[in-house]
Each structure stands twice: as structure tokens, then as C-alpha cells.
Structure 1
Amino acid sequence: MNKIYVIFLVLVFFSCSEEKIMRYNAPENYIRFTSTYRDSVRVSFVNYPTENSFEVKLPVEIAGSVLASALDYEVVVDKDMSTGIEGTHFSLERVTFGAGVFSDTLRMKLNRTADMKEDEFRIVLRLKDNGNFTVIPSDNDYAIVRVSDKMSQPDWWDRGIVNDYLGTYSDDKYTLFIIVTNQTDLSEASPAEKRAYALQFKYWLEDQEKAGVTEYNGIKLAGITVPVRG
């Protein structure tokens, strides 16, 4: 009887151990947005005067092993937190994470609408568990996109632009910058190009001051400065 009991315990032990090994070694993919929700994306169609749609690219990443083949993941719109309407202000397509990579891009199409002239719309996207991926609740499990057709600080006007090229943002400064340089987006510009546009704007402001011009296109020029050296 004792021998049978010992054999039974040994079998149970190995059975449980094997189950744990299989569970802990089982492949599990974790997914999240690369940026936290605090780094919300803001898009204004003012920056794209000839476009009626704009593609937002939100980076996503996985933890674990790279995928042997592309797999779908799930993104839902948080309707309680969103003011933008799917099918009107934006649209989402099937989302798939590529094989052999740790980072990929979620693409969302924004549509220019007449009501964006008056209001900014918020779109909140949440990652959701599905059969392919697990989402760990954190500041990276959802993303916020804000869209309007009003003048607002573009994403590319970041700390580097503030410190090295154009200084602190204001709607008036941005409006004049567009008028003077005919540029609305420096996100793809090289440092040399950013410097050239900033200098063009700076020299224009200096010329207006020398000529005694205090207002241009309804904008007061006093206090508008550009820190780029040159």
C-alpha cells in the first residue's frame, strides 16, 4: 500500500511540474502603445490646407518574442471618453502586427469636417485582449488623438523647436511663420532646413522692426521673437 501511495505522489508531482513548465513556457504576446496617453497627438487641418483627410500613425510595440507571422490585434474606441464620431471624423481599418519586428504602426484616417472649424474632437483608442495578444493595464494601453480645423500647436513644434529654432509657440507666431516661409510642417525637415526657415522668419521680423511696422495681417509684432542664432 505504501509503495502504491509513493508512486501516486511521484506521478502527481511530475504531472503538476509538467503543467507549470508548459504554462510558463507557453508563448504569450503582450502589446501596448509605445507612447503613454499623456503624449496625446494633436492634429489641425489648418496645417494641411489642401488635404481633406490625414493619416495618423500611432506606434505600438510588443514584449516577448517576435512573431513568426503577422497577427491581428484589437483596438476599440472608448465612446465614453471620445467626442469624435467613427465614420464621420475618423475611421479605423483592420489592425495587424507584422512578423519579425518588435514595433509596428497603427494607422487611423482623420476626415476634415465643417464642424472642426468650431470644435476640437477627441478620439480615445484602447487596446483590448484578443486571442493573439494580452494588454497589461497601464498608461500605455490607450492613446488620445485630438483633431480640429483650428489653429493649434502642431506636434512638430516640440521642445527642440522651442529651444533651438522658433521659441515659445503662439497662434500669432505660427500664423506669421506660415505667411513668411510658406511652411506648415517641419516634422520631416532636417536641422539645416529648420534653421534656414527659422532664420528666414527671424530676419523678416527684424526687417519689419527696422521699417517701423508694428502690425502685420492684423497681428501685433511686439513680443514675437525667434531664438535661432545667426
Structure 2
Amino acid sequence: MKLKILLFAVMSFPFLWSCDKEEIPVFASNDAGIYFQRLTSTVYGSTTEYYSDSTDFSFAGMYAYYTSHVLNAPVLTMGKVVDYDRPFKVVVDMEESTAIEGIDFEIELDSLVIKAGTSNAVVPVRLLRTETLLEKSLKIVLRLQENEHFKCYLKTYKNTNLYTAKGEQISGIRYVFTFNEMYTQPNFWKNYAEQDYFGEWTPKKYQVVNQVCGLTPRDWQNANMYGYKVQSARLPFFARTVRIYLQEQADAGNPVKDSDEKYMQLAPNYEVDYSDYQ
């Protein structure tokens, strides 16, 4: 009976035996590949994962005393794990990047290795907090390059390991950091702080007020709520504190300029004396 069923299957589906041969690329056991991959999310109760080839970051919300921040581009390898360190190569794509190394970011590319016994590493990038970020976003583009240890086999791939999902294609050899410190005017500033205390809102003035008074955007978003620093009753104190700071800077020969390159000024009751510079 089993023999009859087998013969019937062969006779009924002859196309199974007449298909043209396809050349399937073989990943040799001694080969090693390398690619970028950031895990963005997982599906609870399953092995499903989603990935990205980029990171977006904003300094907005961080206290002013943070002058830099480190982000990592995760790197994974394909092939055997070995018992020795293997250097890998990454370069900054200066044609695509809008950030300038040494001014907007710092990176060390000469000591990147996949450590012995491991299959992953990170490429750390230190983002520098500059005034440019108040006006626009900057971009850093990293690219993996092949060397004697690793090949870039995975140029693109699907952004999920879920086989049935369509997903989108992401890059395995290109990683992008986009960063800024862009703000929007808080309603509380417009309705309560502008006319009598701080004057017209600008991104630079907002940054200075937050720096001097130890405030964050969350304090402004939740103004007059319990547990947050921005309160109507404290606005006179904040305005006096900022005026003292600005006056001290002016008296010391370092007047603070606003976003329009004019000397920073507050509301009339808290004006700073810039007569020495007129």
C-alpha cells in the first residue's frame, strides 16, 4: 500500500522532479559577515522582533549641565564565534552627514573590535550639545566597510524576524544618527511669563532660563501642578534670577546674545543694562 501511494504521488506531481536548478548562495563555514542592527521592540509572548538602522535623539528635556550624550550603533556578526579579537571597519560618510566631526560630535574609529568569544559590539558616538541644534537637526551617517575579518553580506534586510510579515527593508551597512534640541513655546510662557517676566520667547532664551533656574520642558508642560517647579508664584523669583545672571555676564564682558544675535533681554521690569555695549 505504501509503495502504491508513493508511485501515485510521483506520477501526479511530475513537476516536482522537473524544476530547473537554482544557484543558491552558500555561506561558507569560515566566512564572517558583519551588519548594523538595533532592536527596537519585541512582541510579548513570542520571539518576534523588530529592528532599525537609525536612532533619533533630542537634547530637549535634558538638564542644561549635560553638554554631550553618547549613543551607540549596534553591530552584529554572522558566522562562527572565535577565540581572538577581530577588528572591524566603520567610516563616517561625510557626503551624507550634516554634522561636523570635532564640532558637533566625537567618534573613535581606530579601536573597533569584536571581542574574542563574542558576536556583537557597538560603535559609540558622542553628540555635542551646540546652539546649532536649537535651530535645526543634524545627521551623522556611518558605513561599515569590509576588511580581512568581515564581509558586508547583508546589504539590506527586512526589519522584522517574523517570516509572514512584509516589513520594510533597512540597511545592514549604513547607520544614521539624527539629533537636535528644538523646542516649541510653552503655553504657560505665552499666557503668564511673557508680558511681565521673561519677554518674547526664543529657543535660546528658553534654554538660558531653564539652565539658570534648573527647569526642564516637563516643568513647563505641567506648570502650576503639584511637584513641578514652574509655578505662577515663583515667576518673579525666576525672572530676578535670570536678570542677575544676564547682568553678571554683561558686566564681566560676556553679554549673552539671543537667537537673533541681539543682547538677550527680559520684560521691562527685569531689563538688563547693556549701555556699555551701545
TM-score normalised per structure 2: 0.45
Counterpart of 2:104 (choices 64, 89, 100) is 89
* 1:114 has 2:117 as partner: no
* 1:144 has 2:165 as partner: no
Aligned to 1:168: none
Larger radius of gyration: 2
After TM superposition, the structure 1 = structure 2 runs for residues 19-98 of structure 1, keeping only pairs within 5 Å, are: 27-35=30-38, 39-49=53-63, 50-93=65-108, 94-98=111-115
Distance (Å, rounded) in 1 between the aligned partners of 2:132 and 2:217: 26
- Alignment RMSD: 3.3
Letter in 1 for 2:218: I
Aligned to 1:123: 140
Distance (Å, rounded) in 1 between the aligned partners of 2:66 and 2:217: 20
Quote how far apart the aligned CAs of 1:122 are: 0.7
Distance (Å, rounded) in 1 between the aligned partners of 2:120 and 2:61: 28
Stretch of structure 1 that moved more, 103-112 or 28-37: 28-37
Aligned to 1:21: none
Letter in 2 for 1:51: Y
* 1:178 has 2:218 as partner: yes
Q: SS where residue 101 of structure 1 aligns? A: coil
Provide structure 1 residue ranges, at least 5 long, that are not aligned to the other structure.
Answer: 1-23, 153-174, 182-200, 206-216, 218-230
Letter in 2 for 1:147: F
Distance (Å, rounded) in 1 between the aligned partners of 2:144 and 2:216: 40
TM-score normalised per structure 1: 0.54
Aligned to 1:224: none
User: Closer, same or farther in 2 for the Cα pair 1:104/1:85, shift >3 Å?
Assistant: same
Once the two structures are superposed, what CA deviation does each residue of 1:150-190 show, in whole Å capped at 9, x if it has no partner? 249xxxxxxxxxxxxxxxxxxxxxx9972179xxxxxxxxx
* 1:134 has 2:151 as partner: yes
Q: SS where residue 38 of structure 2 aligns? A: coil
Letter in 2 for 1:140: G
State, as a whole percentage, how many aligned pairs show the same letter. 26
User: How many residues in Structure 1 have an aligned counterpart in Structure 2?
Assistant: 144
Distance (Å, rounded) in 2 between the aligned partners of 1:32 and 1:81: 19
Provide structure 2 residue ranges, at least 5 long, that are not aligned to the other structure.
Answer: 1-26, 40-50, 157-170, 185-214, 227-234, 236-278
CA contact (8 A) 1:42 1:145 kept: yes
Distance (Å, rounded) in 1 between the aligned partners of 2:57 and 2:28: 43
CA contact (8 A) 2:29 2:80 kept: no
Distance (Å, rounded) in 2 between the aligned partners of 1:33 and 1:64: 15
Distance (Å, rounded) in 2 between the aligned partners of 1:124 and 1:76: 9
Q: Stretches of 4+ moved more than 4 A in 1?
A: 36-39
Looking at both structures, which has the greater relative contact order when contacts are Cα pairs under 8 Å and sequence separation is at least 6? 1
Letter in 1 for 2:147: N
CA contact (8 A) 2:67 2:129 kept: yes
